Structure formats: C-alpha cells, structure tokens
Amino acid sequence: MVDLGADWLHVDVMDGHFVPNLTLGAPVVASLRKHTDAFLDVHLMVTNPENWVKDFAKAGADMYTFHLEAAAAPDDAHSLCPDTPHQAVADLCAGVRRAGMHAGIALKPATPVELVVPYVAAGLVDMVLIMTVEPGFGGQSFMPHAAAKAALLRSKFPDLHIQVDGGLAPDTVDRAAAAGANVIVAGSAIFGASQPAEVISALRASVTAAATSGKPAH
C-alpha cells in the first residue's frame, strides 16, 4: 500500500468485546514494523485500552487511537462532558505520549463530537478519529451525518489531524474532505479495486482540492 501511494498504514485492533469482531493485535504490528518505516496508525476498538499501551509502543506503533466510549469505565461513562476532560481519558492520553506514541481519540457515530473538545483544547490529543460506520466490520455504507462532525472540530482547531474512517471511497470522500477531514482511511475501496493506486490518488486529490478551495482541511 505504501508503494501504491498510501501515507500511513491503518491497523484495526478489535477484542470481540467492545465490538463483536476479533482481529489482529500487537504481534502483527511488530511484524509490520520489521518490514516498513511507514507511519503505523493503530485504531484500538477494545475495552480497557489502557491495558495495551505498552504492548503497541513496544511493537512500533506511531499513533495509538482509542475510543472515548471505552476509556471511561462503563459505570462512569455518564461523567463524560463537553466542558472538562475526564480524568481517566486524560491519564490515558498522557500515558500514550509517555510511551512514545501520538495519542488519538475515536468517536462512534452516535457519540456527540462536543465530548472530545476538552481533550483537544487541553492539548492532550494529536488526532480525532470520526467513525462514519459502526465500528467492528468493514464494507459498511458511509454515514454523511457523522462526517459532518469534522466541520465543528475544524472550525475550532485549524491544525488538528481529523481522521474519518468508514465507507470512504472516491464517491463519498468529498463530503468528509469538505467538512475538514485531512486523514482518510479506506479499506474495501482500495483492496477491492483493480487499480488501488488510482483510488488512493483520488482520495488524496479530494482532500487537496478541499484545502486549496479555501476549506480548512490539510
């Protein structure tokens, strides 16, 4: 994928608990690191994401993105608010950075984007991942209303990395790019294409066009 034009390699990690699917873990990331210098962007769809920071740092991950919904204990998730950082989430962000990785926070489609604002405002995260499908399985349809969350973040934080993941393809990426997304994740659209390099090029072109047309995407 890197040879075909991808800037980052996005690795989904699922535990069969936070989401119903079960996928690869730190050993696969470690194996990838042996074969590439590419930026390894790891998306943790797991319960208790604090338990895996050291493993993925040791494996060579560059970005450690965990779900806001999982970082607070289930019986304490109600205390997430748009005004002040939740201590457990803030501590996890700090722990990720201490381990030598960039910290990212992911949001499910139904999670209000305002809940991530205090962490960005406090300088605790390097990227926000907006899910435009329900996490857990590939091949789902893009949810444009979820992508619209990027617009609020971009208006408040012009330099923030905003990643959009789910159902992205040449015919859907413009909505995400126009809203302010500058990091695009695509799976099925690339791996199912006869010319994957052309798909990667089209996705990049959409983000570039949004940026040069006066949109704040990067």
Higher pLDDT, 139 or 91: 91
* Assigned domain for 1 exists: no
* Assigned domain for 69 exists: yes
Domain that holds residue 143: 8-212
Cα separation, 147 vs 161, whole angstroms = 14
Flag whether 60 is marked binding.
no
Whether 170 shows a pLDDT value over 60: the answer reads yes
Cα separation, 84 vs 213, whole angstroms = 34
**How many CB atoms neighbour CB 168 within 10 A?**
27
pLDDT digits (tens, 9 = 90+) for 33-75: 999 999 999 999 999 999 999 999 999 999 999 999 999 866 6
Cα separation, 199 vs 189, whole angstroms = 7
Whether 148 shows a pLDDT value over 70: the answer reads yes
Total domains present in the chain:
1
Flag whether 67 is marked binding.
no
* Assigned domain for 217 exists: no
Cα separation, 120 vs 7, whole angstroms = 23
Flag whether 157 is marked binding.
no
Tell which residue, 183, 172, 184, 105, has the closest CA to residue 145: 172
* Assigned domain for 145 exists: yes
CATH number at residue 69: 3.20.20.70
* Assigned domain for 218 exists: no
* Structural tokens at position 154: 């971009």
The residues assigned a catalytic role are: 12, 165
* Structural tokens at position 64: 């450690």
What is the rounded average pLDDT of the residues 120-124? Answer: 98
* Assigned domain for 2 exists: no
State residue 68's pLDDT score: 96
pLDDT digits (tens, 9 = 90+) for 8-27: 999 999 988 888 777 778 99
* Assigned domain for 3 exists: no
- What letter would DSSP give residue 166? S
Q: Is 0.85 surpassed by the pTM of this model?
A: yes
Flag whether 104 is marked binding.
no
* Assigned domain for 68 exists: yes
Whether 217 shows a pLDDT value over 50: the answer reads no
State residue 116's pLDDT score: 97
